[in-house]
Amino acid sequence: MAVMTYREALNLALREEMHRDPRVFLIGEEIGLYDGAYKVTQGLLKEFGERRVVDTPICESGFTGVAVGAAMLGLRPVVEMMTFNFSILALDQIVNSAAKLYYMSGGQYSVPMVIRGPGGPAHQLAAQHSQSMEVYFYHVPGLKVVRPSTPRDAKGLLKSAIRDDNPVIFIEAETLYGIKGEVPDDPEFTIPLGKAEIRREGTDVTVFAYMGMMYRALEVAEELAKEGISCEVVDPRTLRPMDIETMIGSVRKTHRAVVVEAGAGFAGMGSEIAAFVTENAFDDLDAPVERITGANAPMPYAKNLEQAKTPSKEKIIATIRRVCSA
């Protein structure tokens, strides 16, 4: 078991899968000579060559379309979006081609590709670079959507995504690239897609959170424990398919649920989780499901306004107290 950063865990997963399977190749902007905007692909061009680490022009629709065609013909491309906000430029290729081809071809064509890169709130990158893009994709049948919160998850889930025969949206976080954690050395270590993780056991309320909000939820749980409130923190990890069994099982134990997400809230991931909980565990609930989301506004550039838009520790604490006293 090695201790490494989230960024290094992603790099290791890519390296191991490229060694394991010659069909795996990387494609995207500045991923080769520049080693990637966030250095996730560092050293891979030198190790594998330019046929398997492909630098492209700044054209998301173009290189994503190339990857779709390559996947249809049996390769396993990993597309890097410099930021997932730019995936909007490739929505036709992702939504109308990658997600639909298996269905429209009657199973004749699989599209085994991964589209990965950072998304969500960052550090003062403003409105066009800080969106929580998972909401754009989890509504689309044919796509799997992953948001890994820890270095261990980054490695294990990315390897599973690369091996999957379906297109996988794999959204990381700029704010997590430098965090460290234990990561298994085993090159066959994987984490199944569609399996949630209970990050902290508790008895009074289930808090659903992922990525940066998961770490904030753990801080809140630590603080509320001093007041006698026991929070169970559940990280979905894979948003589609979602591990409803683990999530509902937790709510049936605690009888209360709070969902925390950094996105703008309306029709967001929190809405879907709240609906699942209400539909499947209504009779187990002792209080209504509460959602804590980012403000329904574009992300400001100013640091103080950026912090005001994102769910704060104080807001999460107040909401959990209210739910537990209901």
Could you say which of 16, 17, 29, 129 is catalytic?
Answer: 129
Residue 29 near residue 82 (C-beta atoms within 8 A)? yes
d(CA 233, CA 253) in angstroms, rounded, equals 12
Structure token digits, residue 163: 């091996």
The residue ranking higher by pLDDT, 123 or 190, is 190
The residue ranking higher by pLDDT, 264 or 81, is 81
What does the buried/exposed string (b/e) look like for 143-163 if buried means 16 or more CB atoms within 10 Å of the residue's CB?
bbbbbbbbbbbbbbbbbbbbb
Q: What mean pLDDT is reported for the chain?
A: 95
Could you say which of 60, 172, 232, 272 is catalytic?
Answer: 60
User: CATH number of 197-325: 3.20.20.70, 3.30.565.10, 3.40.50.920, 3.60.15.10?
Assistant: 3.40.50.920
Residue 326 confidence (pLDDT) above 70: no
Position 299 scores a pLDDT of: 82
Position 234 scores a pLDDT of: 98
Q: What is the mean pLDDT of residues 142-164?
A: 98
Ranges of each domain in the chain:
2-183, 197-325
In the residue annotation, 139 being an active-site residue is answered as no
Residues 69-120: tens digit of each pLDDT: 999 999 999 999 999 999 999 999 999 999 999 999 999 999 999 999 999 8
Global pTM? 0.95
Q: Which of 9-23, 149-163, 213-227, 294-308 has the lowest mean pLDDT?
A: 294-308
In the residue annotation, 129 being an active-site residue is answered as yes
Write down the CATH number for the domain with range 2-183: 3.40.50.970
Residues 178-232: tens digit of each pLDDT: 999 999 999 999 999 999 999 999 999 999 999 999 999 999 999 999 999 999 9
